[in-house]
Structure 1
């Protein structure tokens, strides 16, 4: 019996089912109306499109959730083809259009009915196996990618740690070099200061020695010119003269001549003679009494120290140092000239000996 079905893709007219096997099929508006609530399945060629979709889903599942996840951790989803209940015989296998192309007549119908035949389930099974294989392949690729990413991250971390360590070592070296430089600069400045202090001290000592030598030479020259007499000290200022009156003196007037000079200034013997007394003398402080050859006594008072306390001395010899001991208001040499137990004006006496006071 001839069929009213037109020739479909991949199917000859003689391959179409007969009326005895299929019954008369008269398409109506209801039968050709789009199936609602069902998915219309497009024709598949070799199961490739569906396998690619499953592979894409597997790869997306493997590369997700903040990194790489293996598709093996997800349960496999059973894939089945939807049936078309509105069509006679179900036509579950849509690989062959309106009829079953795998065999003629009832054989194809049996397979399409989904009874004991396996043809309708075969594409899904093949698709599942292929998807599992591709999923496993994608999982292996994901693991390789994950390992590479982890290795790269570890390498970058090691490089960062090494860079930080190198930077820290460089900073430590620079700090040590800076500290050493500062210490060297401090040591150099200390050495320079010490050398400068030593130089100044040496210059001061040399200047003092030269001044003292010059003073001694001047006194010796003056003593020679004056017939063997010398001034009692040097670098002085006359402050109080003989006969000055005031309450500072117990007798009511000054009995000597005051040579104001810095403490420690050498005190000289005015002429040849001998030391008859040396020691503490109350208001006079430390005092030395020099008796000249003619019996004249020269008193040196308020001394800070006494170099010669007895014996013979010559004109210009150092016998003591200027001080401020006893009843004084400042460092000075109080010089008295006594003859026969009476005082006389020291300035006049020294001038009479040819000394320029």
Structure 2
């Protein structure tokens, strides 16, 4: 009976390193039909042929090649320093790393599980024991703070807008009040001015009088016509019946009284400011030159002497320099109504 031959020994996968220890060495080993010990006896397996055998050999070879290549690559690269986090601060880990088993740290580990990592002392006092819940609470708190800040900014903006609107409204009301006050002041000033003018005219009216009564204005100052030698009327005509009294319009001195050609009987009354009042076409005169008269005194009578077409009083007003002016405007300026 034949005996099985011993299979060749495979090379040792370990080698001695520089420090006297052993390290595993991977080398490529391709098994062949000669290097594999055949199996004999009742447990012998039939040799595989074709694709199955080739696939087995190829797979073993690939694994060996990859292992050898990986080891070669790892041995050819320089060592890389790896930084590990400090896990000694985690509850229970410090004691595990230090190896102090059975100490007081075990109580800490039991009281502070890993789920409490990252929980602040304040959160722990509030009863928070879950890190996820603590993170969720922090996120919610931060969101609430941000929302509160946004609400505060919105309120501040609204308050600012309201303040600006109130200021604008107050400025508008103040401007309106100032405008109304200015208008009232102007109206009061105008009213006071009119009142003063009325008082002045009333005072003047008390010292001035119309030259005659029961009259009709027939010709005005400046009126054009061929009946006047100058081509226009130089005075104001008061048509009235003959004999109607002629009065002094203001106190003054009789400068002259007598016949004056086309003017007929004329009386010239000189006032204190040098203004001269001419009374023409009188039927008779009651004063003489140099006589002083007062307002309303009778100085003559309405007539039709001189160049006339009917009885009337021709009144002229001359300034101190001799220029003729409109008698109607002058009389109205003294507060008299014509």
TM-score, normalised via structure 1 length: 0.37
